[in-house]
Amino acid sequence: MSTRQEKHFEEADVQNRFDFKKEQKTAFAAEKGLTEETVRVISEDKGEPEWMLERRLRALRMFQQMPMPTGWPGQPDLSEVDVDLIVPYIRPDVEVRGGVRDWNDLPEEIKDTFDKLGIPEAEKNALSGVGAQYESEIVYQNMREEWENAGVIFMDMDKAVREHPDLVEEYFMTKCVPPSDNKFAALHGAIWSGGSFVYVPEGVTVDMPMQAYFRMNSAGMGQFEHTLIIAEKNSEVHYIEGCSAPKYSAFNLHSGCVEVFVKEGAHVQYSTVQNWSKNTYNLNTKRAIVGKNGRMEWISGSMGSKATMLYPATILNGRGASDNHITIAFASEGQNIDTGAKVYHNAPETKSTIVSKSISRGGGRTNYRGLVRIAHGATDSSCSVECDALMFDNDSTSDTMPHIEIHENKVDVAHEATVGKIGDEDVFYLQSRGLGDDEAKQLIVSGFIEPITKELPIEYAVELNRLVELEMEGSLG
């Protein structure tokens, strides 16, 4: 078999890993649409306390009163997003609510899904804990015993509401992402389901990443997982999120929420590799609050979806706090990937770095939409923003839309943006070293996205590069 044939089969195998569909029995499914009755039914099915139901209903009222986001230059078209056509909650038919701890206890069709996605192998080789969500609920949850013994908590959010109500009630959509933040945060607050709860005690370093994988399998559904991470003083954790869905003719909606609390001297890295199908609207809200000398890192790869609007935000509230964003977005035909970062410097000697990489081809559109705000009194703070865009043709679009507010004189802020095509001289040089035209261009793209791949465990870096190559298939030449 030739090298080109082998490569074709490898790429087909990657695509099959994500774009397959499974017939799945459900234990319960809500009706389409969003009403107070729907919210009450979801809360009742979960057996939630009254305070959580009250928060859901308050968020529902906010959602109903807020307009859809419109009028942003270059923003994705959201006219197709009609919540009345979405099934907001599907509970898969599994024996244990909150997730089994043994893959063999999963129903065969669910186990086969995650086997195809490679989750068991990744857990064995590279992870300290894994949560796997199918439709609206976690179906598998496990963590290595050594971290349980150290007091680390890693469980699904529904279980956390029951077993750690004091922590959840204090932090859940109160201090970081209130439902009043935006329309889709309010939607999330009303019908959230599943997701991860991570608590790392003071002084504990979890030296292997944790992962949660979210899979939407049904057509016309919405997934609304909530992730809450609390890293106490001088602790450290790396959390990886993976997402995928098969392609259907009906649109799907993903509107998750991530809240991260980085206490004094703590360090949290949050990595995302998303490969939603190209009928999915990905409308997320992610935010972190960082204390004195704490460090937050966002590593994000957005490969799929019809439209994405995602701007992870960090609020640097403590002296010496720091933040790092590295993002890669890839848009091909019919895609509008609108991503960026927000950083609020609210204390002296805070530092942030934003590196945004985007690739567009076949008429796809990528946007960097960012905000940096340095408050009065945040002296000796610094921020560096670097936005690089790579386009394959004249039909594609890439825009950089930075917004920088500086309310303090003694600061250091830099912004740099570049837009370009693959250079003929670079391709010629690699061809002179024996590479074919397509291989040369793919190598250039791999180098272009290297800042994100080097921050991921090797298994995920390889996967991200393979997904990029798959997206480029047929676009080169």
The pLDDT assigned to 107 comes to 58
Q: What is the Cα–Cα distance from 374 to 316, expressed in whole angstroms?
A: 10
Domain assignment of residue 127, given as a range: 3-472
Which of 17-31, 62-76, 160-174, 409-423 has the largest mean confidence?
Answer: 160-174
Is the pLDDT assigned to residue 318 strictly greater than 90? yes
- Taking the C-alpha atoms of residue 352 and residue 373, their distance in angstroms, rounded to an integer, is 11
Distance separating alpha carbons of residues 243 and 272, to the nearest angstrom? 8
DSSP state of 179: G
Spatial strand order of the sheet with 411-421 comes to 137-143, 129-134, 210-215, 236-244, 267-275, 295-302, 322-331, 351-360, 381-391, 411-421
Q: CA-CA distance, 184 to 69, in Å (whole number)? A: 9
pLDDT in the model for residue 17? 44
Lowest mean pLDDT among 99-108, 144-153, 176-185: 99-108
- Distance, CA of 428 to CA of 431 (rounded, Å): 5
Q: Which residue has the higher pLDDT, 175 or 109?
A: 175
Q: Give the C-alpha separation, 217 to 212, whole Å.
A: 16
Q: How many CA atoms lie within 13 A of 368 on its CB side?
A: 31
Is it the case that residue 245 has pLDDT exceeding 60?
Answer: no
What's the pLDDT tens digit per position in 386-425? 998 888 788 888 888 999 999 999 999 999 888 777 667 7
Count the domains in the chain. 1
Lowest mean pLDDT among 112-126, 257-271, 299-313, 403-417: 112-126
- The rounded distance, in Å, linking the Cα atoms of 50 and 47 is 9
**Which band of pLDDT confidence, cut at 50, 70 and 90, is reported for residue 15?**
very low
Q: Which residue has the higher pLDDT, 349 or 131?
A: 349
Integer Cα distance of 242 and 372 in angstroms: 27
DSSP of 38-91, one letter per residue?
A: HHHHHHHHHT--HHHHHHHHHHHHHHHHSPPP---TTPPP-TT--GGG-B--EE
Task: Say what the pLDDT of residue 124 is.
Answer: 47
DSSP structure class, residue 390 = E
pLDDT of residue 140: 63
Point out the least confidently predicted range of 108-112, 179-183, 418-422, 451-455: 108-112
Which distant-in-sequence residues (6+ apart) come within 8 Å of 358 by Cβ?
A: 328, 329, 330, 331, 337, 339, 366, 368, 387, 388, 389, 390, 398
Asked if residue 117 is part of any domain, the answer here is yes
Asked if 233 and 267 count as a contact pair (C-beta separation under 8 A), the reply is no
Indicate whether 310 belongs to any domain: yes
Least confident of 177-186, 249-258, 285-294: 249-258
> Is residue 69 a part of any domain in this protein?
yes
Structure tokens at 210: 């944790």
Q: Is residue 223 part of a domain?
A: yes
Q: Is the pLDDT of residue 49 over 70?
A: yes
What is residue 445's predicted lDDT score, i.e. its pLDDT? 73
In a domain, 477, yes or no: no
Mean pLDDT of the chain: 81
The answer to whether residue 197 scores a pLDDT higher than 90 is yes
Angle between helices 458-472 and 3-19 (to 10 degrees): 100
Does 4 score more than 70 pLDDT?
no
Asked whether 14 and 80 are in contact (CB, 8 A), the reply is no
When pLDDT is cut at 50, 70 and 90, the band that residue 12 belongs to is very low
Residue 172 has pLDDT above 90, yes or no: yes
Q: Mind spelling out the 3-state secondary structure of 310-368?
A: ECCEEEECCCCCEEEEEEEEEECCCCEEEECCEEEECCCCCEEEEEEEEEECCCCEEEE
Those residues with Cβ within 8 angstroms of residue 216's Cβ, 6 or more apart along the chain or in another chain? 135, 223, 244, 245, 252, 254, 276, 280
Q: What is the pLDDT of residues 81-134, one digit of tens each?
A: 888 888 777 766 555 455 555 656 655 655 565 555 555 455 445 455 566 666
Does the pLDDT value for residue 468 go beyond 60?
Answer: yes
Q: Is residue 2 very low, low, confident or very high in pLDDT (cuts 50, 70, 90)?
A: very low
Q: Comparing C-alpha atoms, which of 456, 227, 223 is closest to residue 328?
A: 456
Structure tokens at 114: 């995650």
Strands 280-283 and 252-254: parallel
What single-letter amino acid sits at 60?
Answer: L
Model confidence at 52: pLDDT above 90: yes
Q: What average pLDDT does this structure show over 334-343?
A: 94
- The whole-angstrom separation of Cα 59 and Cα 186 is 5
Q: H/E element holding 258?
A: strand 257-262
Highest mean pLDDT among 34-48, 116-130, 311-325, 432-446: 311-325
- The pTM (predicted TM-score) of the whole model is 0.85
In a domain, 104, yes or no: yes
Q: Measured between alpha carbons, how far apart are the two ends of the chain, in Å? A: 23
pLDDT the model gives residue 1: 44
Residue 280 backbone zone (phi > 0: left; psi -120 to 50: alpha; other: beta): beta
